Structure 1
Amino acid sequence: MARETSLFSGRPSELIGRQVAGYRIEREIGRGGMAVVYRARDLRLDRTVALKLLAPELARNDTFRKRFSHESRVAAAIDHPNIVPVFEAGETDGVLYIAMRFVAGSDLRHLLDRQGPLPLATALRIAAQVASALDAAHEHGLVHRDVKPGNILVARGTDSDHPEHVYLTDFGLTKKSLSLTGFTTVGQFVGTLDYVAPEQISGRPVDGRCDVYGLACVVYETLAGRPPFRRDDDMALLWAHQYDAPPALTESRPDLPAPLDAAFAKALAKAPDDRHDSCLAFVAALRAAAEGGHLPTEVALRAVEPDVAAPQPPPRWAEPVFREH
């Protein structure tokens, strides 16, 4: 019992310096209700990692352990520049763990708390990288279900054109695992209230469009300084996600282009069928709105394609080569 209480009893220092599954724990860098994340040293490869230790009671649930093993393997197989790589996942001394790349920098939550609303160009750069990561996960059959600023890491970019490099994390433990194992009860869900999609609240099936909604809530906050819905208590907030129209972004930021409101309204639609089909499609709509243009439609694209059946004369510079015979 001493080992179990040391993980989640509020005394993280008890693990500092200890070795867990070949990793020497250096310091705590984050915690939630069911996990603690440490900076640790991989003693086999001599590298720094982020080591997530899950609450010991989770390891005792056979259904959870099986889903954890499967989803960790899927997450580790995703090779994407904006997804934190999973190095290893396993169990030691009755505790499940995940070792991931350690990302130096801050998360988006701390960035917003420190700086407040971001410039539109910065918000769009961050949104595009998160959207790309989410769509890649959806192609592998993973739905994140908990897109929030705390799960978005912002590191230093490569140059002035790419000042930030963004990583999406927390894929090694998708929230479906908890909901299928009795760790959530009827009327509850796993997710963060400010960013949760209506279908998650009502217990309906979810797909990638659930993450479109969550991403839209996050991007809205990066621009407005607050999520789209704010209420005095949790039940009122859940009701707002399910039934209230989101406020127009330009009410908080009248300096931003008005067409952005329509892009957010679509991404925050109550019914998944009314949202953008992908996260990158949502970002494309934001960019088009920011530039004052319109997204090209399939019909418009076909209209500008040349008629391949009609012979085309050679360009003038090619006339000496292509001669009629």
Structure 2
Amino acid sequence: MQAHIIGGRYALRREIGHGGMGVVWEAFDQMLRRTVAIKRMAPQNVASAEARRRFAQEATTIARVRHEHIVQVHDYGIDQGSPFIVMELLEGEDLESRLRRVHQLPAAAVLSLLRQIGAGLDAASAAGIVHRDLKPANIFLARNACGESVKILDFGIGWTRHEGSDDPSSEPSSAQFGTPAYMSPEQVRGAIPHPLTDLWSLGVIAYRALTGHLPFSLSDVRALIVSICTDPFPMPSSFALDLPPGLDRFFERALAKDRSRRFQSARELVSAFAALCDAATRRAKILFVDDEPDIQLLLDLHFLKKTDRAAYELVFAANGQHALDELRRHPDIDVVVTDLNMPVMGGLALLERVPEVNPLARTVIVSAYGDMTNIRLAMNRGAFDFLIKPIDFQDLEATLVKTLRHVEEHRRKARSNEENEMLRRFTSAAVIERLRSHGPAGVAASEALEATVVFVDVHRFTRVARERPPAEATRVLNANFEVIVPELLAQGGIVDKFVGDAVMAVFHGPDHLDRALQACLSVRAQIETIAQRAGDDSPYAHGVCVGLSTGDVLAAGVGSHACGQLGYTVLGEAVNAAAHLARAALPGEILVEEAVCARARREVKFEAGGVRSVWPRSEPTPVYRVVRSEPSPPPLAEQPTVAT
């Protein structure tokens, strides 16, 4: 039977795959005499202008990036009204098929995947491209002469930087949803695409590959969306698997709901995972520095005999200068055991240089009994311990055990900054900034500021709290706060406090009013998007009521010194006005006073909101609504993905 020719040169041979967007064929390029893969648009989609646009977008998006870990596009055309994409032909299987077959992968295999996928994502990010549908089915494990190589597939709903501005309401592709189980909180909310969204998806892929489970695995798509935005995920350690220690901390960061707390690049994520794998398998690394020619042989023979206690990797250097080179070559050296008297650079000089190269390593000095003066000098300069020549190997091992214990403790202290980030979750950002700038005494000080104050209130939450069980009511409120707070912070706002069912944020500094307006618009857009996607019974269906006011405020430390209860907040008419405007607002409204309309510099539209009873026991006053043309997202499809 004669092969079907498309585009005047590609002879179709056999169908090798299909999905919602198209059918993939193996074909023969009659012009260049090579085998290729051709993705043809599915017949049922040809009549759709939007489907054709997305199909063409996939070709142009991939063509912008030439990278070994992104599938390459050779050609694009239309044959008898049906678009097609010509790509390199890959032999192998996708990661989804692999995981369904083997369920889990060892950490070393996951690290290899992360390195290759991460390299491809970094290349896409550098070109201004966000994939938005990264999942195992779109990760292909291509067989080649050297083994397997990862290829990222299907940029059909990819987003490029030139598609939209920084305005969330201008996002042109809200109809393009992705695969919920691998989507970040900001993606399901309809936020402007960002490369960190793809890194969340990469974190989900790693989690599933290691544990055999998804971090958020509800079968109901609407409930899954709410869970991604609101709920914690099971820690890998809870599955009782043989996994590298430290994975819980890794995934707390990789899957942080606030994207500013995540790894900020694929390279950073991969490096952190690689460090975990290394820590799980590495032996303590000891650098011995001595110019005696037989010292290496003696130590090798001694530790070789003790195979049951071979916990050390040995590195050798003949003098201090060579030792510095080895420290740079091996940044994970734990202990330096150095002789005092050596040519070129002796032990005392090396002792002073070690902290410059490796501040976590500890130095043990070796010398003879008759050199106690130098030993005392070394101890005064920071040596951790000393050994006497000739070395007693039992004493050496005891000293190494003690020193390594100290090194590990030192490493834990060095990681304390990361652990102290927990403080920020439970302490007002205003207090932290005040302490950073002025010290503890500065919290009680006060100053006048020009600022914009925003109150974002969850509509009718009082009724929710009255009608629902406490845990369910709290989940509704926190689900909304998980959307609201990141958008306020993204525009430089400081969340001053949570007042019942409202968030109070303060914006000051350059363009504080415009940044506050932008934050409010973003909050409203994302709440409305996720409410439509998650359904009428979701926590987001209540809507938010927003009040905004600008002017002079008093920033001050308030509270009781006697009881040790102090806070740092802002006071003034703008605070009261924003709170009352939020109470007067209807769901979805952002209410402001006339002064805000006059001072706003950005292209923000206002319309008269009528006369409202804003201030208690006062006459109704005119208010204004912040409005903008915002495309509504389509209803959520029943299928968990709308792009293949």
Task: Give the structure-1-normalised TM-score.
Answer: 0.76
> In the alignment, which residue of structure 2 is the partner of 1:174?
157
Q: Distance in 1 between matches of 2:220 and 2:49?
A: 35
Residue identity matched to 2:18:
R
Structure 2 counterpart of 1:79: 66
Alignment partner, residue 460 of structure 2: none
2:2 equivalent to 1:19: no
Q: Distance in 2 between matches of 1:206 and 1:269?
A: 17
Match of 1:99 in 2: 86
Q: Secondary structure at the match of 2:129?
A: coil
Q: Distance in 2 between matches of 1:71 and 1:117?
A: 31
Q: Which residue does 2:236 correspond to in 1? A: 249
Which residue in the other structure is 1:278 paired with?
Answer: 265
Deviates more, 1:62-71 or 1:115-124: 62-71
Q: Residue 215 in 1 paired to residue 202 in 2?
A: yes
CA offsets per residue over residues 247-287 of structure 1, 9 Å max, x none? Answer: 11122253112311111111111122221111221111111
- Given that 2:54 and 2:157 are in contact with CA atoms closer than 8 Å, whether structure 1 keeps it comes out as no
1:81 Cα shift?
1.1
Q: Which moved more, 1:145-154 or 1:257-266?
A: 257-266
Structure 1 residues without counterparts, runs of 5 or longer: 1-15, 294-303, 306-314, 318-325
Matched, 1:239 2:239: no
> Which letter maps to 1:18?
H
Give the AA of the match of 2:151: Y
Q: Are the aligned partners of 1:260 and 1:290 in contact in 2 as well (CA < 8 Å)? A: no
2:106 corresponds, among 103, 108, 119, to 119
Query: Is residue 131 of structure 2 the alignment partner of residue 147 of structure 1?
Result: no
Contact kept, 8 Å, 1:56 with 1:94, in 2: the verdict is: no
5 Å-filtered alignment, 1:168-207, equals 168-171=152-155, 173-176=156-159, 180=172, 184=175, 189-207=176-194
CA distance in 2, matches of 1:153, 1:67: 21
Tell me how far apart the structure 2 counterparts of residues 82 and 253 of structure 1 sit (CA, whole Å).
Answer: 33
The counterpart of 2:275, out of the listed 279, 283, 288, is 288
Q: Deviations over 1:44-75 (max 9, x none)?
A: 21211111112457555666656654653342
Q: Which moved more, 1:126-135 or 1:26-35?
A: 26-35
Change (3 A) 1:87 1:180: same
Q: String of CA shifts for 1:169-189, please: whole Å, max 9, x gaps.
A: 113x23449x9478x3xxxx4
The residue type paired with residue 74 of structure 2 is: F
Matches within 5 A, 1:256-271: 256-271=243-258
Structure 2 segments unaligned to the other structure (5+ residues):
161-170, 281-326, 329-342, 346-644
RMSD value, Cα: 2.8
Secondary structure of 1:292's aligned partner: helix
> Which entry has the higher C-alpha Rg, 1 or 2?
2
Change (3 A) 1:18 1:263: same
Q: Aligned partners of 1:78 and 1:175: how far apart in 2?
A: 12
CA contact (8 A) 1:74 1:140 kept: no
- What's the offset of the Cα at 1:107? 0.9
Equivalent AA in structure 1 for residue 191 of structure 2: R
* Corresponding residue SS for 2:131: coil
- TM-superposed CA distance for 1:192, in Å, is 1.2
> How do 1:155-174 residues align onto structure 2 when only pairs under 5 Å count?
155-156=142-143, 159=146, 163-171=147-155, 173-174=156-157
Could you tell me how far apart the structure 2 residues matched to 1:137 and 1:116 are? 29
Q: For the residues of structure 1 that align with 2:205 and 2:10, how far apart are their CA atoms?
A: 33
Out of 47, 58, 70, the position equivalent to 2:34 is 47
Structure 2 Cα separation of the partners of residues 89 and 157 of structure 1: 25
Q: Secondary structure at the match of 1:50?
A: strand
Asked whether the 8 Å contact 1:224–1:253 carries over to 2, the reply is: no
More RCO (CA 8 Å, sep 6+): 1
Equivalent position to 2:25, from 13, 38, 46: 38
SS of 1:27's equivalent? strand
Q: CA deviation at 1:201?
A: 0.9
Q: What's the CA shift for 1:190?
A: 2.1
- TM-score computed with the length of structure 2 as normaliser: 0.40
Contact preservation (8 Å) 2:41, 2:55 = no
C-alpha change, 1:35 and 1:66, in structure 2 (3 Å) is closer
Matched-pair contact (CA < 8 Å) for 1:175–1:190: no
Question: Which amino acid in 2 is paired with 1:244?
Answer: D
CA gap 1:52/1:124 in 2 versus in 1, 3 angstroms: same
SS in 1 for 2:142: strand
What whole-Å deviation, never above 9, does each CA across 1:75-132 have from its counterpart, x for those lacking one? 2232211111110112222211111101111111111111120111011101110111
Q: CA–CA distance in 1 between the matches of 2:190 and 2:18?
A: 26
Q: Which amino acid aligns with 1:169?
A: L
